[in-house]
Amino acid sequence: MEVLLRLSALLVVLLVGTGLRVSGILDATRTDRLNAVAYYVALPALIFVSTYDQAIGELLSLELVGGLLVVFFTTAGIAWFVHRNKADSGRQGVAIVQSYHSNLGYLGLPLVAATFADPVTAIASVILGVVTLVQVPLTIVVLSTANGADAELAEELRGLAVNPVLVSLLVGLAIGSLGITFPGTAVVGLDAIGSLALPLALLCVGASLDVDLPSIDYGATGSVVAVKIVAMPVLAWVAFSALAVDTATFAASVVMLGTPTAVSTYVFAAQLEGDEEFASLNVFTTTLASIVTLFVLITLIT
């Protein structure tokens, strides 16, 4: 019941964000500012607090990295197979990337932090870093190839080097691995800031959703939902069960890979000539449907 109430609260905050957009309170400029606070302040604070007292050897393992890569590329392969015959290249590329590109930062990590103990959150932070390094370049390649759009992949990769999520992860792991003592008052402050990551992210996601119901392609959207929030977490469950990892690694991996399509895929679609409306719809649909699937996953794990 506690998990259901928590996920229901997430849905409420998501819909509040949509309502604030419709009412004009959260216009594009304010949403961008709120998004910046979540991405550059709250989320890095959450990641740092989760990892600053953990040595990298305690969190990163061959089983974890191997399992993540197997699940990720298997899901990407399934997505290509399912959507390969779409006549509309703008929708084809979007459908493929939105079937594997997970909302690890805005929803995954904050949700894990709010639901599980600290060791699970620490591993989830590492998962965020590892998968981000893979899914962002692949998404750029898929969209630019499908749509014939120019993409500065090298520039995007350079951007990853200064990505606040990855930087905070590396700094936290470095401090933990070196055994550096970090001031307790600073940790308390950062923890408070990090707790804002989930509500801020949900407001931003809700404010970015704009769906035109008459134009919905139910088959295509249904396929994205099925691959992203059903097939991918099932693959994660099977893979990490076979790898016999510890409980914390299993829980973090399955929940993180069971998150909905990332909002950033809408941005990539807009930049690389994909179908923006279709991308927005899939973010909305996978996010709403994931309330149910994440409840099932968390209930089974706990």
Averaged over successive runs of 10 residues, the pLDDT of the chain (302 residues) comes to 69 84 85 81 82 77 94 96 78 92 86 88 89 85 71 61 77 82 84 82 74 69 95 97 94 95 79 77 86 91 87
Burial class from Cβ neighbours inside 10 Å (0-12, 13-18, 19+) for residue 37 reads middle
What is the pLDDT, as a whole number, of residue 254?
A: 96
CATH of the domain at 103: 1.20.1530
Q: Are 287 and 102 in contact (CB under 8 A)?
A: no
209 belongs to a structural domain: no
In a domain, 259, yes or no: yes
Predicted model pTM: 0.80
Q: State which residues form the domain around 162.
A: 37-196+216-301
Domain count, the chain: 1
Which H/E stretch holds residue 175?
helix 164-178
**In a domain? residue 5:** no
Q: How far apart are alpha carbons 240 and 127 in whole angstroms?
A: 13
Tokens of 3: 């998990």
Q: What local confidence, expressed as pLDDT, does residue 228 receive?
A: 97
With respect to residue 293, please indicate whether it lies within any of the assigned structural domains. yes
- 131 domain residue, yes or no: yes
229: in domain: yes
Quick one: how far is CA 202 from the chain centroid?
Answer: 12
Nearest to 116 by CA among 289, 250, 258: 250
Q: Tell me, yes or no, whether 130 lies in a domain.
A: yes
Q: Report yes or no on 210 lying in a domain.
A: no
Given this model, what pLDDT does residue 160 score? 64
pLDDT reported for residue 174: 85
